């Protein structure tokens, strides 16, 4: 009895085993989809802290709709289900499947129907099939703390620079002291403050940073506090 895979993942969850900080939002395709079509496309978005997979193209007999992969992005491997049938004309039923987020460029779905490999879709793919690639974000793992809250610019080679984490790119980054004076400001995409105001070392204490990222088209200002220790 041969299973024919019908990619439509359904809701199921596992216990989180740690934050899976891998960006998987966007369009994905599989060339080994076993349904009589050459390529299967899906789109993944982050909605209310859950990854949502939307079937875009593929077998016309497969139910199309929104399905939520609970357990991600808290776990890079979690349990779900996918639709499959024992043959053409047979009933489509959900079967258990294991979803593995291997990297930001490779996702697998493993079940009785076989192992499916999914890879990010290129811009050329999207233009060819006529999907608006701007509908989904390029990033999906949220970055709540892009700037550390402590750094120690004492020249020991450890934590000497205050820089952006989470892979963000800066449009404008600035640091002010407690009196509101700007001690550092730059439009460099990867700023790194060494704890000086010009050539003069800044004293220990609390400083206030603000950041506008290059991917924020609305000019949202992120801000926070950093403690300078020497």
User: CA-CA distance, 19 to 120, in Å (whole number)?
Assistant: 21
Please give the pLDDT value at position 103: 86
Give percent of the chain above pLDDT 70.
Answer: 61
* Residue position matching structure tokens 């700007």: 182
CATH code of the region 150-228: 2.60.40
Environment class of 70 (CB within 10 Å of its CB; exposed 0-12, middle 13-18, buried 19+): middle
Please give the pLDDT value at position 36: 47
Average pLDDT (73-83) is 74
Task: Could you please state the CATH topology (level 3) that the domain comprising 4-135 is classified under.
Answer: Lipocalin (2.40.128)
User: CA-CA distance, 25 to 45, in Å (whole number)?
Assistant: 5
Lowest model confidence (mean pLDDT) among 7-11, 111-115, 223-227: 7-11
Higher pLDDT, 135 or 181: 181
Indicate the pTM of the whole model. Answer: 0.55
Please give the pLDDT value at position 225: 92
Question: The sheet that has 170-176: what strands, in order across it?
Answer: 150-151, 222-228, 205-213, 170-176, 182-186
pLDDT tens string 182-217: 999 999 999 999 999 999 999 999 999 999 888 765
**What is the pLDDT confidence band of residue 12, given thresholds at 50, 70 and 90?**
very low
Asked whether the beta carbons of 136 and 26 are under 8 A apart, the reply is: yes
Give the other-Cβ count within 10 Å of 11's Cβ.
12
For 33, the enclosing helix (H) or strand (E) is none
Asked whether the beta carbons of 87 and 71 are under 8 A apart, the reply is: no
Average pLDDT (166-187) is 90
Question: Could you tell me where in the chain the CATH 2.60.40 domains are found?
Answer: 150-228
What tokens does 80 get?
């779900």
Angle at 110 between CA 4 and CA 70, to 5 degrees: 110
Q: Is residue 29 reached through a cis peptide bond, with omega within 30 degrees of 0 on the bond before it?
A: no
Lowest model confidence (mean pLDDT) among 65-79, 166-180, 203-217: 65-79
Question: Could you tell me where in the chain the CATH 2.40.128 domains are found?
Answer: 4-135
Which DSSP category does 215 fall into? T
Higher pLDDT, 96 or 70: 96
């Amino acid at each position: 009895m041969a299973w024919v895979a019908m990619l439509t993942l359904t809701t199921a969850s596992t216990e989180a085993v740690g934050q899976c900080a891998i960006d998987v939002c966007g369009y994905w395709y599989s060339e080994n989809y076993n349904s009589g079509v050459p390529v299967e496309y899906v789109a993944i978005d982050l909605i209310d802290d859950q990854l949502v997979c939307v079937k875009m193209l593929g077998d016309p007999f497969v139910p199309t709709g929104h399905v939520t992969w609970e357990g991600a992005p808290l776990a890079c491997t979690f349990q779900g289900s996918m639709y499959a049938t024992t043959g053409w004309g047979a009933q489509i039923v959900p079967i258990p499947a294991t979803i593995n987020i291997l990297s930001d460029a490779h996702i697998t779905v493993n079940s009785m129907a076989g192992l499916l490999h999914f890879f990010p879709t290129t811009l050329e793919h999207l233009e060819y099939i006529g999907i608006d690639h701007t509908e989904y974000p390029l990033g999906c793992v949220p970055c709540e703390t892009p700037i550390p809250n402590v750094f120690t610019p004492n020249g020991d080679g450890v934590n000497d620079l205050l820089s952006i984490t989470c892979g963000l790119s800066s449009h404008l980054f600035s640091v002010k002291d407690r009196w509101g004076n700007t001690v550092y400001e730059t439009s460099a995409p990867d700023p790194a403050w060494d704890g000086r105001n010009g050539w003069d070392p800044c004293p220990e204490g609390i400083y206030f940073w603000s950041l506008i990222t290059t991917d924020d088209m609305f000019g949202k200002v992120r801000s926070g506090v950093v403690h300078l220790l020497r």
